[in-house]
Amino acid sequence: MIAYPLESSFYFKKRLIKLDLSFDVVLRFFDLQKDENFNFLDKLELSLQILVQDYSKVKNFSQEDKVALIQQIYEDFIEIKSKPSDDNTKIMDFSQDSSYIYSSFMQAYGIDLIEQQNKLDWRKFISLFQGLSEDTKMREVMSIRARKYPTPTKYNSEEISQLRKAKAYYALEISEAEAGEQFQKALDRLADSLEQRAI
């Protein structure tokens, strides 16, 4: 990543598409995918309105092209490439953990994320997030969520009880990873449906 400039534009259907990839915009994109008040087609349109700087360039694209476009944007610019955990335990969520993330960025880097809205690129944000040290609040919370219960013995009942309480306190609802997976599955279903319709 550091050897090349961060690109925020690309050509699609011979049109230059410029993206707004500031971290807060991408986080709103993830929030939209979790919002049950919108169906998938609404989310598709709103996602493009959020992410594409000049939405008028893509507004009249066919549904198939819009699906292909948002899929390319997601896969090339937004998707977080990470190794899945052994048991698929969800250990963080950008929305639910926003206060921990904010304080951790201040502690680790002296970065005020509120002041960085519409400035800090999503990919830089993710790199900084992944580099947070173990002594930050966010890493502490992630560690608690990931920690496995020890095998019960007559000596560790208090330790297990404390860990159970901590896990309950920091428990997550649906995470960005799940929202991204749901978005990808919905994209695939819509693409299949459009393909069948065209046959």
Taking only the tens of pLDDT, the chain with its 199 residues reads 677 889 999 999 999 999 999 999 999 999 998 888 999 899 999 999 999 999 999 999 999 999 999 999 999 999 987 665 556 678 999 999 999 999 999 999 999 999 999 999 999 999 999 999 999 999 999 999 999 998 888 898 899 999 999 999 999 886 555 666 666 777 777 666 665 555 4
For residue 171 the two structure tokens come to 């428990």
The whole-angstrom separation of Cα 97 and Cα 175 is 10
Q: Is residue 56 part of a domain?
A: yes
Same domain, 188 and 158: no
Q: Is residue 72 part of a domain?
A: yes
How many domains, in total, are found in the chain?
2
Q: Is residue 89 part of a domain?
A: no
Same domain, 142 and 192: no
| pLDDT for position 199 | 47
Same domain, 170 and 183: no
| pLDDT for position 3 | 79
| pLDDT for position 187 | 73
The DSSP annotation for 34-97 comes to: H-TTS-HHHHHHHHHHHHBSSGGGTTTS-HHHHHHHHHHHIIIII----PPPTT------TTTT
The DSSP annotation for 97-142 comes to: THHHHHHHHHHHH---TTTTTTTSBHHHHHHHHHT--TTSHHHHHH
Q: Is the dihedral of CA 41, 24, 94, 180 positive or negative?
A: positive
Domain coverage including residue 148: 98-174
The whole-angstrom separation of Cα 142 and Cα 146 is 6
Q: Is residue 2 part of a domain?
A: no
With both helix axes pointing from N to C terminus, report the angle between 176-198 and 63-73 in degrees, rounded to the nearest 10.
Answer: 150
| pLDDT for position 81 | 76
